[in-house]
Each structure stands twice: as structure tokens, then as C-alpha cells.
Amino acid sequence: MYWLAASTFIAGLSLGLYSIAWETTLQEQIPKNMISRISSYDNLGSFIAIPGGQLSAAPLASVFGASRVALVGGFLWIVLTLCPLAVPSVRGLRHAV
């Protein structure tokens, strides 16, 4: 159980770091007249899968076990979070100074 609390803490820290990086990049790279639209689509994409994940967690845990579902979910989160780094233009993005 302690590993779940520790990994949740680390995920929270990384989400905070990611949020700051995303908002900074949004303000620097997106034209001012498009920020509202881009933010709306970003929020839709970010939150649309949450209900499906919440509804599927209990049935999956009853079939595969809660620990396995938590580990696979965490692994998928890490992989999907790192996927944008596979795009060269994302890796090469630099701060405006």
C-alpha cells in the first residue's frame, strides 16, 4: 500500500511540473487570439477519458486484481506521458527568451 501512496505523490509532483511547462509553452508558442480555443480542446482531450477510466477500474480490478490494474495503469500513464517526446519538433522546442 505504501508503494501506491509514494507513486501517487510522485505522479502529483510530475503533474504539477508538467502543468507549469504546458502553460508556459502555450503562452509562448500560441498566438494570443488562439489560446482560448487551444485551451478548450486541450481540456476536452484531458478530461474526456476520466469517466471511462473511473467506470472501468472496479470491474477490471475484480477480474485482474487491484494491484495489477494499478501497476498497468501507472505504466500506461508513464508511457503515454512520454509519447510526445518521440516527436522531433517537441523535443527541439526551446523557451523564448
Domains in the chain: boundaries: 2-91
Q: What is the pLDDT of residue 61?
A: 96
29-86 residue pLDDT tens: 899 999 999 999 989 988 998 999 899 999 999 999 998 998 898 889 889 888 988 9
Q: What is the pLDDT of residue 64?
A: 97
Predicted TM-score of the model (pTM): 0.67
Cβ-based neighbours of 25, under 8 Å, separated by 6 or more: 93
| Residues 58/73, Cβ–Cβ less than 8 Å | no
Confidence band (pLDDT; 50, 70, 90) for 90? confident
Burial state string for 29-45 with b = 16 or more CB within 10 A and e = fewer than 16: eeeeeeeeeeeeeeeee
